[in-house]
Amino acid sequence: MKKISKVPGLDVLMPKGKIEASENEFELAKKFNERYYHWEELRYRVEDIDARKKIWLLMKITRLTNEKCLKIGGINCSYSMTSNLLESLFDLERCLSGHMEYHGKEIGNERMRYHSVSSFIEEAISSSILEGAAVTRADAKEMIRKKQRPVTDGERMVMNNFIAMEHIKKIKDDELTFDLIKEMHKIITHDTLKEGKEWEGKFRETNEIVVGDNQVLEKVFHIPPTYDKIQKMVEGLCEFCNKENEEFIHPLVKGIIIHFMIGFIHPFIDGNGRLARSLFYWYAIKKGYWMMEYAAISKVIKSAPSKYGMAYQYAETDSNDLTYFIKFNVECIMRAVKSLEAHIEQKAKEQKKARLFVSQNPEFNIRQATILKDYMKDDAPFSVVELQKRYRAAYQTARSDVIQLEKLGLVKAVGKERKKILYVVDTDRMYEYAKDVETKENKIIPEKKQSKRDSKQKTLF
């Protein structure tokens, strides 16, 4: 990622007398403002330096008319609600409200819980990788789902992030306080800080922390405020979060601003990025955007980490204009939500195909096929006793059905209720199993080419 220079100020650009600009320059200024380009982005779009300065001046003057100024913990910042940003927020409102419903049926609680856990796993992995965790997605998923103890630092980071995401749901009704921030940081950094365990949940007491390039030490992107200002700044951030502002701020925008401010203040020695993203989730869920629980935003950010870093830089180098950072994050949220919708739609299609496969597969008896179809649809755990009653079968018969399905990997034990073992249909394995069988059948019985004679004979009948 390249280091961005500070933009030229109005005092440098403002000419004496009137601004003389061509119609084309006015049009370009309007067009660039709709996309909210930074001065750096104009370098590749307007070659002539004088024209570039004039267009930038027109852009800045226009932005001033729509600018909303904030002061958070002594930090002056601003943002603009552009028409494109308002449109994106409107689209998000439609996506994030209502029910997750496909094929005319609302998704059940168990399936919702499954998607929530899957999303938190993805968020935990991607957020950790963004901060340099060395871990594979497959290993991390298996570790969390099987509740294995993390071994490496990368695995610990992932597990900590997952626990933090789960913790968010418990504290969603709390106000933002020093204790909440410190507790979240303690969870996120548990047993991972090189500086020592005593710095978990403790504000930094050094000014030697910078945000820079790991490969080129001389390349510094951000120098955080001195540690003696942290207390006051975080206090101001809590006040901004908890109190209703004089002028309405869209909750998602406010959550993104909280995200930015944690990264800007950098109150801890390490783990600030993971904390910032977790607090955004906390605030969004707190404000009723429950579907955020199912959208893995860091996975989208991870696909363009340099743009994430540039959004920070663009804001800081342009007098803390947070619009750049807000715009980038709103786009990421939209992509995450759309990805979730596509994922659920695909799973619904796969489930329908798997149910059809089960009903047509002679490997299962009628009762086993019914068990798989019913509990794929219900997403609910069941016991052998429940199957015995539901399908009016002998206990040993129901038990044999479960054992056979468990051997095939289509049913798995998930816990106990008193002395009864609870099982669920492993829908992911069902999809894989259906595909495996279909592939084997296609290999064993290749499609025969019809001869002209066969074709003629068939037409006679």
Determine what percent of the chain is predicted with pLDDT higher than 90: 42
Asked whether the predicted pLDDT for residue 327 surpasses 90, the reply is: yes
3-state SS, residue 195: coil
Considering only residues 402 and 214, tell me which one the structure prediction assigns the higher pLDDT: 402
Q: Which of 276, 310, 344 is the last residue of a domain?
A: 344
**Are residues 57 and 74 both part of a single domain?**
no
CB of 56 closer than 8 Å to CB of 26: no
Same domain, 427 and 301: no
Instruction: Tell me if 249 is assigned to some domain.
Output: yes
Q: Does 308 reside within a domain?
A: yes
Residues 337 and 384 grouped into a single domain: no
Burial of residue 283, with CB atoms counted within 10 A of its CB: 0-12 exposed, 13-18 middle, 19 or more buried = buried
Taking only the tens place, the pLDDT of each residue in 36-93 is: 999 999 988 999 998 999 999 999 999 998 899 999 999 999 999 999 999 999 988 8
Predicted pLDDT of residue 418: 78
Average of per-residue pLDDT values in the chain: 82
Tokens at 207, concatenated: 């000014």
Is 86 part of any domain? yes
Note whether 374 and 432 are same-domain residues: yes
Q: How many residues does the chain have?
A: 461
State if pTM tops 0.85: no
How much of the chain, in percent, has pLDDT values that exceed 70? Answer: 82
In this predicted structure, the answer to whether residue 114 has a pLDDT above a threshold of 70 is: no
The domain total for the chain is: 3
Q: How many CB atoms lie within 10 A of CB 43?
A: 11
C-alpha 444: how far from chain center: 42
How far is the first Cα of the chain from the last one, in angstroms, to the nearest whole number? 71
Task: Decide if 431 is inside a domain.
Answer: yes
Residue 2: inside a domain: no
pLDDT at position 217:
61
Same domain, 329 and 448: no
Domain assignment of residue 1, yes or no: no
> Residue 101 has what pLDDT?
45
Higher pLDDT, residue 214 or 260:
260
Backbone dihedral region of 254: left (phi > 0), alpha (psi from -120 to 50 degrees) or beta? alpha
* Whether pLDDT at 250 is above 90: yes
Q: Are residues 311 and 209 in the same domain?
A: yes
Same-domain check for residues 49 and 86: no
Same domain, 76 and 60: no
- For 279-326, how does the pLDDT look when each residue is reduced to its tens digit (9 = 90+)? 999 999 999 887 777 777 888 888 888 899 999 999 999 999 999 999
Instruction: Tell me the pLDDT tens digit for each residue of 396-446.
Output: 999 999 998 998 888 888 888 778 898 988 877 777 766 665 565 555 444
More confident residue, 72 or 390: 72
CATH of the domain at 368: 1.10.10.10
Whichever domain contains 80, its CATH number is 1.10.3290.10
Residues 163 and 259 in one domain: yes
Establish if 351 belongs to a structural domain.
no
Task: Please report which confidence band the pLDDT of residue 456 belongs to, taking 50, 70 and 90 as the band edges.
Answer: very low
Whether the Cβ atoms of residue 387 and residue 374 lie closer than 8 Å to each other: no
| Residues 91 and 228 reside in one and the same domain | yes
- Widest distance between CA atoms in the chain: 95
Question: Which residues constitute the domain of residue 287?
Answer: 69-97+107-344
pLDDT at residue 273 above 60? yes
* Cβ(330)–Cβ(85) below 8 Å: yes
Tell me which amino acid residue 436 is: D
Confidence grade of residue 355 (pLDDT, cut at 50, 70, 90): low
261 and 297 housed in the same domain: yes
Residue at a domain's end among 344, 370, 405: 344
pLDDT over 90 at 329, yes or no: yes
One-letter amino acid for residue 86 of the chain: L
Same structural domain, 16 and 38? yes
Amino acid 152: pLDDT: 83
- The verdict on residue 174 lying in a domain is yes
